[in-house]
Amino acid sequence: MATDIESPEKTSEDRTPARRGAGRSGHKLSVKKPLRSIAIFGAVGALVAAVALPAYASTTPTTEAATTLQQVAMDDAQSLVVASEATAAPMDRGNYSATTPDEIAQKKAEEAAAARAEAAAKAAAASSGGGGYNTGDVALVAPGSGDVRNPVGGGYYVSRTLSGSHNGADMVGDAGTPLYAAAAGTVRISTDSYYGYGVGVVIDHVLGGQQVSTLYGHMIYGSRQVQAGQTVQAGQLIGFMGSTGRSTANHLHFEVRIGGSLVEPIGWLNANGAPA
């Protein structure tokens, strides 16, 4: 009997702690579950933040960079416009058809060279006693009636004649002394720049069946009265004495060629009835 009574009590005591233990265990489980859920949500939130923050960080600088690049581009464009205006402003093209600085410079250099040449011509004319060539008070035909005339229509002297390297006679006189064709013929050359002769004229003649040519050098700029191809008469006015070309004084350099060969001019004039 005693055993039967003790057995239920022990069993009861055994059960009671068991229920208590079970109760505590169950409480612990119920507490752990919310904590675990909170931890999971926290981890997920942290993961989302970890992913979102770099993305946000990566997008923000891009926008700022784009804005900065746009500003730089605008600034560069403005600076280019300013530079273009500053470069173009000083370039004065005037009436030139050239479109580049090199072409403009070349055009200006050509004009400067032409101006220098013109100035040199005027200076040479002035030094030669050049000035108006009014032929109103000058005989248009040299004195005489022969086929050969003296080419100098005024006072002169011969400083030298044909010799060695000198091809003619230098007939020295005053600047502006009228000069005449020594014989009838056709003008072959008439120019303001005939080698060292300066302003020169060459006339071809036929005299006594011979081909004769006469040359007149160092005349004043602008004084020529005949043109190439023109037919002239003996003693016709062709220009005025000067000192152009390779010359140091006012004089006529007079050459005579027969059949292409040089002859002494003063002797030739004398032999053909035109005393020099």
pLDDT tens digits, residue range 188-218?
Answer: 999 999 999 999 999 999 999 999 999 999 9
Express each pLDDT in 80-91 by its tens digit: 444 444 444 444
- Residue 205 in contact with residue 212, Cβ under 8 Å? yes
The answer to pTM > 0.85 is: no
Alpha-carbon distance of 7 to 66, in angstroms, equals 88
Least confident of 12-21, 169-178, 194-203: 12-21
The Cα 267–Cα 162 span in angstroms is 10
pLDDT of residue 122: 55
Report which DSSP code applies to 60: H
Does residue 103 have a pLDDT over 50?
Answer: yes
**Average pLDDT over the chain, rounded to an integer:** 75
On the question of pLDDT at 174 being above 80, the answer is yes
At residue 97, the pLDDT reads 56
